[in-house]
Amino acid sequence: MRWCLSILLFSFLAVAHALSSSGNRLLVVLEDADDKGLYSTFWGDLEARGYDLDFQSPKSSDLSLFKYGEKAYDHLLILPPRSKGLGPALSPKNIVDFVNNDGNVLLGLSGKSTTPSAISSLLIELDFHMSSDRSSVVVDHFNYDTISAPEKHDVLIVPRPGQLRPDTKDFFGGEGVLAFPTASPHTLGDDNNLVAPIVRAPATAYSYNPKESSGSVEEVAATGSQLDIVSAMQGRNSARFTLLGSVESLQDHWFSATVKTPSGKKTQTANREFAQQLTAWTFKETGVLKVGKVEHSLATDVELKEPNPAMYRVKNEIVYSIELSEYDQDHFVPFEVPANDALQLEFTMLSPFHRLDLEPSGRTANSTIYSTRFTVPDQHGIFSFRVNYKRPFFSNIEEKEEVTVRHFAHDEFPRSWKITGGWVWIAGLWSVIGGFLAFVVVWLYSAPKATVDSKKTQ
């Protein structure tokens, strides 16, 4: 009987545990409760993966992202409001504070409603830029669904994104097409390595405001692949923010809809699989890297198991190793650096003296060991071992450890006879010493013989 209860308890805990590496508390901000039924399959998929969904209205007086100074939720999902804002609990400052405290956010927009100015202000802080006309939708006359949008052409049909890591696995890739009805477009800031596009609009797409009386489009700020439909931002603390331009793509209808392109080809959408991949990345089920054991030691002390000394000497030979794991759905697996990429170690003071590639040297049950060997430069001071690995769609790795590098001690310098370049001078020294001794010996034993005076003193 007791073992039956143990099995039941274990099964309950397994079901209740979310696949996310950062928690299962998910706040869903939904203004109109009647819209909840439109996303029933999407909610069911999240709950099946162990998330605890809490549906709240942005007008609720009990809504708060923080409680007693700590996060009240691990993740935040915001559906587009129909009013002019999200209320004081979801102000841009509070959402930014939530992200700064390692919270993850999925924000959905819709071209059917005007984007509130508060959301536009939030997106500007994260370097997402909406059109000056916040009621615009993406229109494409060559890549649209002829069944649901034969006249408006505002239901985009785009292929699923390509694989990010072809040699291992992908985050958003796969077969099939995606349908994005009434997508609200946005653009990304220039020279910002924290933001990255996931789905771009086709080259023939453009932004259009259906509320304008004129049928022509003038002064278009961005067109084609300059427009983004789905984008992501990952902060320096590895918190994730995803912007979905078409929240309607998560509805039950589009999870299994049949679409037809202008060329006459019919196919079924892959929105459901894409939504699972998108939320898995946003809520840290994939792409999460973890650092395990970090060791450095003299090359002669590797077998002695005396790692991480606080001081080295110039010209020492050092071995450095680091263990890396990747979170995959519900457990950590060994992380493999893509073939076209490199994991590097910097041995730096004010600037790097060494920048070396770390190569795989071993593997444990859930991590890969990367290591390298190098010689300490002939420079004393405070040095740092630094591993700085920051790639799109992967959590950031930044490991730093300081050590002291000293000069040779007075009894550690090599003796003169060990330096072949000094043999000439040593030979000259001993030749001088030998010549002097020979001169002294010759001088002492070569005194002139005494002569006898012929005149004797009377």
**Cβ distance 180 to 245 under 8 Å?**
yes
CATH number of the domain within which 147 lies: 3.40.50
**Strand ranges inside 182-248, DSSP E:** 186-188, 195-200, 206-208, 228-234, 240-244
The pLDDT value recorded for residue 111 is 83
- Residue where a domain terminates, one of 238, 254, 283: 283
How is residue 378 written in tokens?
């002939």
Closest by alpha carbon to 327, among 280, 272, 360?
Answer: 280
The pLDDT value recorded for residue 275 is 94
The pLDDT value recorded for residue 415 is 77
The arithmetic mean of pLDDT across residues 148-171, rounded, is: 75
* 197-235: pLDDT as tens digits: 999 999 999 988 877 655 555 556 678 888 999 999 999
What average pLDDT is seen over the chain?
A: 86
Pair 322, 225 in one domain: no
* 89-143: pLDDT as tens digits: 999 999 999 999 999 999 999 888 888 888 999 999 999 998 777 778 999 999 9
How is residue 341 written in tokens?
């990429």
The pLDDT value recorded for residue 168 is 44
Which of 32-36, 246-250, 387-391 has the least mean pLDDT? 32-36
SS3 226: helix
- Residue where a domain terminates, one of 283, 309, 326: 283
Q: Is the pLDDT of residue 167 over 50?
A: no
- Residue where a domain terminates, one of 266, 283, 300: 283
Question: Does residue 9 fall inside a structural domain?
Answer: no
Domain count, the chain: 2
Q: Is the pLDDT of residue 12 over 50?
A: no
Pair 238, 308 in one domain: no
The pLDDT value recorded for residue 7 is 33
The gap from C-alpha 325 to its chain's centroid, in whole angstroms, comes to 13
Report residue 345's pLDDT band, with 50, 70 and 90 as the boundaries.
Answer: very high
The arithmetic mean of pLDDT across residues 65-77, rounded, is: 93
Pair 277, 299 in one domain: no
Pair 246, 386 in one domain: no
Report residue 194's pLDDT band, with 50, 70 and 90 as the boundaries.
Answer: very high
Pair 299, 375 in one domain: yes
The DSSP 8-state label assigned to residue 345 in this structure reads E
Pair 300, 255 in one domain: no
Pair 277, 318 in one domain: no
* 250-307: pLDDT as tens digits: 999 999 899 998 988 899 999 999 999 999 999 999 999 999 999 999 988 666 667 8
The arithmetic mean of pLDDT across residues 30-51, rounded, is: 91
Q: Residue 295 to residues 111, 257, 346, 377, 453: CA-CA distances in angstroms? A: 53, 53, 14, 19, 92
The pLDDT value recorded for residue 8 is 36
